[in-house]
């Protein structure tokens, strides 16, 4: 897309901070795979062929979808949206933990927090099998295969 917009592999490379040769090689590989030339190369740069013109619109659509998907995944990774399953031992369900989860909810309103009650052994097993994202348990025992933090 950058080569089509700039009319040059060199200018596209500068805009994307990629070597011109890398762009040229990637486009050549894509043309080989598609079985059609996407660009007419000339001394002044490049121009889309008919095949290139036909390829550009779906390529733009695909990149928009990829960008949107990447933004959604990044938002989940930053805990801006999503779903968190939290193992809670009933004796910890009030006080500190209640305040912590309430504050998290205020800071991340698009994240659904599902507290799941159970005993420490069940929670550790559920974390190991990815049925819980995090668990708050009592005791100082380390849990093999789990990251722990003493609070």
pTM for the model stands at 0.53
pLDDT digits (tens, 9 = 90+) for 4-48: 999 999 999 999 999 999 999 999 999 999 999 999 999 999 999
SS3 at position 4? helix
Taking a C-beta distance cutoff of 8 angstroms, is the pair 13, 22 a contact?
A: yes
**Which of 84, 60, 82 has its CA nearest to residue 133?**
84
Mean pLDDT, the chain cut into blocks of 10 residues (151 residues total): 95 94 95 96 95 95 90 76 84 74 87 88 90 84 80 78
Ordered strands of the 82-88 beta sheet:
111-117, 82-88, 134-136
Give the pLDDT of residue 144. 78
């Amino acid at each position: 897309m950058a080569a089509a917009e700039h009319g040059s592999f060199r200018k596209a490379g500068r805009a994307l901070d990629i070597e011109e040769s890398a762009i040229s090689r990637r486009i050549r590989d894509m043309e080989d795979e598609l079985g059609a030339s996407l660009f007419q190369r000339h001394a002044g740069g490049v121009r889309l062929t008919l095949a290139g013109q036909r390829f550009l619109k779906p390529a733009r659509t695909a990149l928009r979808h990829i960008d949107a998907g990447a933004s959604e995944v990044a938002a989940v990774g930053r805990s801006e949206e999503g779903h968190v399953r939290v193992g809670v031992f009933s004796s910890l369900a009030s006080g500190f933990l209640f305040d912590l989860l309430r504050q998290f909810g205020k800071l991340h309103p698009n994240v659904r927090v599902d507290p799941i009650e159970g005993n420490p052994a069940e929670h550790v097993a559920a974390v190991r099998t990815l049925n819980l994202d995090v668990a708050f348990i009592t005791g100082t025992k380390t849990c093999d295969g789990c990251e722990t933090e003493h609070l």
